[in-house]
Amino acid sequence: MTKAEAYEKAWRIAFKNNDFSLADEIYHPEYSAFDFRAGLEVNLDSDKVIVSTYGESFRSGPFKKIFENDEFLCIERYLKSTMTYPPTYYSSLSAVTYKDGKIITQESVNEELAEDPSEGQDWNWEDYE
């Protein structure tokens, strides 16, 4: 499994099932990131609380690996939020760095989309349930 596949799978499982076992495997014990929404430094436990709280309201769609090597991963994916009606859609870009083969930092930027990114495509959200 590539780093991009492991990252995507870990968070897809966490959002869907509140299961962080794969995230625990791929994150470094010293992991930290700055959460710009909250304005503070977070660790994996903080991320787990956020996902546990809001995970049922989000679905991750297809992803695209932009770049990957031993030290860095850049991945783009679509997100669907059902916290609003109608749902809100995002393009999410995550930059991930590695130490000793595990994620040590990451930064994600979400851009709200004007329409459902699955419209007119060869995939739908049900494919990612």
CATH number for the domain spanning 68: value is: 3.10.450.50
Question: How much of the chain is helix, strand and coil, in % rounded to 5?
Answer: 30, 40, 30
For range 6-35, the mean pLDDT: 94
Closest CA relative to residue 69, chosen from 97, 41, 47: 97
pTM: 0.90
Number of structural domains the chain divides into: 1
Q: Give pLDDT, residue 89.
A: 98
Please determine, for residue 37, whether its predicted confidence score (pLDDT) is greater than 80: no
Half-sphere exposure of 72 (CA within 13 A, CB side): 5
Domain that residue 24 falls in:
3-128
CA distance 8 to 78: 11
Which of the four pLDDT bands, split at 50, 70 and 90, describes residue 125? very high
